[in-house]
Amino acid sequence: MKLFNRNFIMVLIGQIISLFGNTILRFALPLYLLNKTGSASLFGVVSACAFIPMILITPIGGIIADRVNKRNIMVILDFLTAIITLAVMILLGKVNLIILLLIALILLYGIQGAYQPAVQASVPAMSST
C-alpha cells in the first residue's frame, strides 16, 4: 500500500494553494478597510459580521458534502471565490468601500463555511484508495 496516491497529492497541492489564497484574501480585505478608514471599531465590526456566515453555514456544508460530489463542491466554491475577488477589484473605488468589503467578506466566509467540510470529507476517501 502506497503512503500517498496521485489523487491525494493533487488535492493536497490544490488545497494548499487555494486555502492560502483564500486566507490571505480574508485577512487582507479587513486590513485594507482599516487602512482606508483608520477606524479600528469599523474594522472589528466588519470582521465580526463577516465571520457569522461561516459559523452558520459550516454545519449545512457538512451535510451537503456528505451527499454531493465533494470535488464539484470545491471547484464551484473556488470559482465563486475568484468571481467575488474579481468583482471587488472592479468595484473598488466605484461603490461604498464599507458595503463592498462587508458583502465580499460575508460571501467569502460563507464560502469557507461550505468549503472546509468538503475538503475534510474528501481526504479519508482519497487516502483509503
Question: Which DSSP helix (H) or strand (E) runs through 70?
Answer: helix 70-91
Q: How many CB atoms lie within 10 A of CB 123?
A: 14
Instruction: Measure the CA–CA gap between 113 and 22, rounded to whole angstroms.
Output: 12
pLDDT of residue 79: 93
Of 1-10, 38-47, 78-87, where does mean pLDDT reach its minimum? 1-10
Please, which pLDDT band fits residue 90 given cuts at 50, 70 and 90?
very high
Instruction: Measure the CA–CA gap between 97 and 103, rounded to whole angstroms.
Output: 10
Residue 10 pLDDT greater than 90, yes or no:
no
pLDDT of residue 127: 62
At 36-67, the pLDDT tens digits run 999 999 999 988 998 899 999 999 998 998 89
Domain map (residue ranges) of the chain: 20-122
pLDDT of residue 128: 59
Q: What is the mean pLDDT of residues 30-40?
A: 91
Which has the closest alpha carbon to 113: 103, 101, 105? 105
pTM of the full structure? 0.82
Please, which pLDDT band fits residue 4 given cuts at 50, 70 and 90?
low
Residue 129 pLDDT greater than 60, yes or no:
no
Reported residue count of the chain is: 129
Instruction: Measure the CA–CA gap between 70 and 64, rounded to whole angstroms.
Output: 9
Residues with Cβ within 8 Å of residue 126, at least 6 apart in sequence: 5, 7, 8, 11
Q: What is the mean pLDDT of residues 73-100?
A: 92
